[in-house]
């Protein structure tokens, strides 16, 4: 077992999709997040819209029942480490303290050439045992092999 498999095997405690990713308040909990049987790895695969063989797959729209890629999704895990290794290469480009939270928010961009995907990582402001990871954008390249 490599470090990647180990680290992404965190239970997902909640999962959000953003219909309007310009508006952080407009989040819609996914119906299938209730089961809590998803790992961070599952969430990464679904959120980026790429399946194991690299084809576009996406997540299930609970209204239409169809799979579609989402521009922005977020999930919460209970984790002691903040940087979940999701198999992609990320370059950190910023860190900010956000209002009403004692914890900084970290900004990452996908290292792949021309890929527009970004993610944010921060600890839950009320319960620091939880980590909130937000992805925005859809990768324009092949996913890592182990995804």
Is the separation of the CB atoms in 43 and 138 below 8 Å? no
The yes or no reply on residue 93 touching DNA (CB under 7 A) is: yes
| Site membership for DNA, residue 96 (CB under 7 A) | yes
Establish if 105 lies at the interface with DNA (CB under 7 A). yes
DSSP string, 17-48: EESSTT-TT-EEE-GGGTT---BHHHHHHHHH
Buried b (16+ CB within 10 A) or exposed e, 111-146: eeeebebbbbbbbeeeeeebbbbbbbbbbeeebeee
The correct pick among 56, 62, 89, 146 for binding DNA (CB under 7 A) is 89
Q: How far is the CB of 53 from DNA (least distance, A)?
A: 25
CB of 55 to DNA, least distance (A): 25
| Contacting residues for 35 by C-beta, under 8 A, at least 6 apart | none
Name the DSSP letter for residue 56: B
Taking the complex as a whole, how short is the minimal distance between the CB of residue 119 and DNA, in angstroms? 9
Q: Which of 118, 125, 130, 141 binds DNA (CB under 7 A)?
A: 118
98 lies in the site for DNA, by CB under 7 A: yes
CA atoms within 13 A on the CB side of 110: 22
Q: Is 78 in the site for DNA (CB under 7 A)?
A: no
Segment near DNA (CB under 7 A); pick from 6-14, 25-33, 71-79, 89-97 = 89-97
Binding site for DNA (CB under 7 A): 24, 89-96, 98-100, 105, 107, 111, 118, 120
């Amino acid at each position: 077992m490599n470090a990647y498999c180990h680290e992404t095997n965190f239970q997902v405690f909640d999962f959000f999709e953003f219909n309007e990713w310009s508006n952080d308040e407009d989040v819609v909990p996914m119906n299938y997040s209730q089961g809590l049987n998803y790992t961070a790895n599952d969430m990464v695969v679904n959120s980026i819209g790429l399946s194991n063989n690299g084809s576009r797959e996406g997540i299930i729209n609970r209204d239409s029942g169809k799979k579609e890629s989402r521009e922005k999704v977020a999930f919460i895990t209970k984790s002691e480490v903040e940087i979940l290794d999701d198999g992609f290469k990320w370059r950190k480009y910023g860190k900010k303290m956000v209002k009403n939270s004692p914890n900084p928010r970290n900004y990452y961009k996908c290292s792949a050439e021309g890929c527009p995907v970004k993610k944010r990582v921060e600890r839950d402001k009320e319960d620091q045992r939880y980590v909130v990871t937000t992805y925005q954008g859809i990768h324009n390249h092949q996913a890592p092999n182990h995804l």
